[in-house]
Amino acid sequence: MKFNILITAFPFVNEYKKLRKLFKKHNFNIKVIKTSQYLKEKDLIKVVENIDGILCGDDEINENVLKKANKLKVLSKWGTGIDSIDLETCKKLKIKVFNTPGAFTESVATQALAFILNFNRKILENDNNIKKGIWNKFEGVTLVGKKIGIIGLGNIGLRIAELLLPFKSKIFGNDIKKINNKKLKKLKVNIKSKNYIYKNCDIIIIATDLNTSTRYLINKKTLKLIRKKPLLVNIARGPIINDQALILLLEKKIIAGACLDVFEKEPLPLKSKLRKFKNVIFTSHNAFNTVEEVNKVHFNTYKNLVLGLKK
């Protein structure tokens, strides 16, 4: 049987010429669509008819798209997060959904630490000034004794806590799931409420999944809870932080600054007010992007697609 395959995951698309040999031994008819980040519903609806399997990224795979995909059997998600897929409709239509759990734990956790060290030691400012011929000194701060709150203690959140151990910080964590006590003790993580983290921490790291309970977790109400002018780091999902609330946090100097790999709208709009703040460090939803883990996910996503179609 010949299967029609749609590939939209932009990291996979960018490397597809190198990865074509993976598909050669299978009777696949491949259609590749290039995108800078993800495909919206209106674009997907045009191409999903008669498609058996999709190797997708953060595409808008909602009920309308799934109902249009009359032959779809498998969705193989490139990466971990599946919040952009309507799982309930997939279940009703008996469409198999695969991902790679824990795919980018090391990459994303080290990005969080890199953000914090860069911000606290003002490395970017120092570098920019030297390139302009300005030889000045920036006073930074260490992490020793700093209170760091991690919201979301999945694989990434716990790995961040582990990486912070040598810095002798005080680590507080929050998760709706119960976390193994031995693991928490080993990593010296104290479980606290989100409100406690907002009120007491010098650094707040968002490492939770995006779901109905975490969408706009940081909102205008949060402004009243934050006390210690913390650094806010988001390496999770953009819509966990409401953009307007973040702008107010920065304008009112309620937070020291922000480090953002993800945004409510991606790519970040050119007219976004967030671009005006000098105390914000951006990366382009790129925390996942290390050679080792990307290659692992390429192969696993391909393998999931094949297994799903062959079963």
Integer Cα distance of 230 and 35 in angstroms: 35
Determine which of 18-27, 87-96, 113-122 has the lowest per-residue pLDDT on average: 18-27
Q: How high does pLDDT run on average in the chain?
A: 96
Residue 83 · residue 209 · CB < 8 Å: yes
- List the domain boundaries for the chain: 3-103+291-310, 105-282
d(C-alpha 61, C-alpha 85), whole Å = 5
Q: Are 7 and 30 in contact (CB under 8 A)?
A: yes
CATH number of the structural domain 3-103+291-310: 3.40.50.720
| Tens digit of each residue's pLDDT (9 = 90 or more) over 66-80 | 999 999 999 999 999
Out of 60, 237, 264, 298, pick the active-site residue.
Answer: 237
pLDDT of residue 23: 87
Predicted TM-score (pTM) of this structure = 0.91
Catalytic residue among 41, 63, 106, 266: 266
Residues 6+ apart with CB under 8 A from 93: 66, 67, 72
Report yes or no: 122 and 140 within 8 Å, Cβ to Cβ: yes
Interval 231-258 mean pLDDT: 98
pLDDT recorded at residue 65: 98
pLDDT at 272: 98
Phi-psi region of 285 (alpha: psi -120 to 50; beta: other; left: phi over 0): left
- Identify which of 3, 14, 90 has the alpha carbon closest to the alpha carbon of residue 297: 14
What pLDDT is attached to residue 18?
86
CA distances from 187 to 31, 146, 165 (A): 46, 16, 7
Structure tokens at 42: 């209106």
Report pLDDT for 47: 98
Phi/psi at 119 (nearest 5 deg)? -65, -50
How confident is the model over 213-236, as a mean pLDDT? 96
- Residue of 159, 264, 285, 298 marked active site: 285
What residue ranges in 42-146 does DSSP mark as E strands? 53-56, 74-77, 96-98
Inform me whether the pLDDT recorded for 1 exceeds 80.
Answer: no
Q: How confident is the model at residue 19 (pLDDT cuts 50, 70, 90)?
A: confident
What was the pLDDT predicted at 310? 87
Q: Is 15 a catalytic residue?
A: no
- pLDDT > 70: percent of the chain: 100
At the second CATH level, the architecture of 105-282 is 3-Layer(aba) Sandwich (3.40)
Q: Is 26 a catalytic residue?
A: no
